[in-house]
Structure 1
């Protein structure tokens, strides 16, 4: 019975659009683009680096994220469970405690990474063309996801997957119902796109994006119906 209720919730969450009537920052012009990276359980948003983005996220440069490197083309943002995200750099390092934390209630983190040129199409990358207003709203949403204390945004020391990424404490609590992919969906709605009402999985998020957004604004990757 529980499995049927969960399946029904996922189906309705995918098929019912959010928002019901148009995107929050939708516009006719599609002068900017963003990318969404997808793996079996997680999604990240990649934002093209330019002077405005570097100014918006100058605190990342101060924290050692080398977004001004000549080869850097995208800042990649992902929100997720602190225990799981930090404790599971690779699938081979999967442990019970971080999984339990992610399935119940956990503090959240922002993971920031860099990417160079991205050749498209790729099965795990989707491109979205959005308006200037949508792009600005997306940046504001991402910026607002970083936790700010009395000293501003603080990088979590000694924690990274590689030489160019880092973790930062984030706003909001992570749980299985409101996880990394629901954060991505909320961010994309700020960009003027329409998602499903509830998208806890990358597959359902990708399906809803394909259902409700103009093909001219959406070059799909990831898992499609």
Structure 2
């Protein structure tokens, strides 16, 4: 009888596990489908690159996206918010700053995606997490397929700057945290990360606020980059 009960229990657990896996697969499929549909719906659909203006860059590592901006321009000097003295290689002649927003635990404790634990991933999907700002300093970054330049008007750049300033807040007591290398750093930032408000959504929301064409819902990096002109195509 004990053996039969054990067999029945094992079969029940197997069925439960099977349904659980099937449910997770369904949720993942629905998420990817809605992400594909949402990112294909444009905001600011009539936008086109101007012939003159400010050149910015949109950066990706295929999972995460960032905005790469001139360190100093007529519209903004980012050195006040993001001083080079906050990074180890403070002596370099920086020309650009990479700005992105994401989830605190992932940013600080998962330097590579292989370090992301299943429990952290489930927590982010289920309940979200606190926001964190990632800043990297660059010296004359070279355009590539993962670092794509795009031109926007002076007014659009001012709007972009204003949106970034609003989203990062002004906390005189914000803390900084060591980055992944000698040229980057993390800062406290407002906002709650969730499956509907991801790092990539932050990028597209920031672009959209400046009137630049981008996808409506872009939880994945590809949904952002599909709207950024590739190197051999200067028009969107």
Partner of 1:205: 224
2:175 maps to 1:155: yes
Distance change (3 Å), C-alpha of 1:133 and 1:75: same
Partner of 1:216: 234
Query: Does the 8 Å CA contact 1:82/1:106 hold for their aligned counterparts?
Result: yes
Cα offset, 1:209, TM superposition: 3.9
TM-score (norm 2): 0.75
Cα offset, 1:4, TM superposition: 5.2
* Equivalences for residues 17-166 of structure 1 within 5 A: 17-19=42-44, 22-23=46-47, 28=50, 30-50=52-72, 52=74, 55-61=77-83, 64-65=86-87, 69=91, 71-104=93-126, 105-120=128-143, 122-149=144-171, 152=172, 154-156=174-176, 158-166=177-185
Q: Could you tell me how far apart the structure 1 residues matched to 2:235 and 2:158 are?
A: 17
Distance change (3 Å), C-alpha of 1:69 and 1:9: same
Highest Rg: 1 or 2? Answer: 2
Cα offset, 1:187, TM superposition: 1.4
Moved >6 Å (runs of 4+): none
Distance change (3 Å), C-alpha of 1:198 and 1:72: same
Cα offset, 1:81, TM superposition: 0.3
Cα offset, 1:136, TM superposition: 1.1
Partner of 2:38: 13
Query: Does the 8 Å CA contact 2:200/2:220 hold for their aligned counterparts?
Result: yes
Partner of 2:202: 183
RMSD, matched Cα: 2.9
Cα offset, 1:144, TM superposition: 1.8
Structure 1, unmatched stretches of 5+, are: 219-225
Q: Could you tell me how far apart the structure 2 residues matched to 1:159 and 1:56 are?
A: 19
**Number of aligned residues:** 208
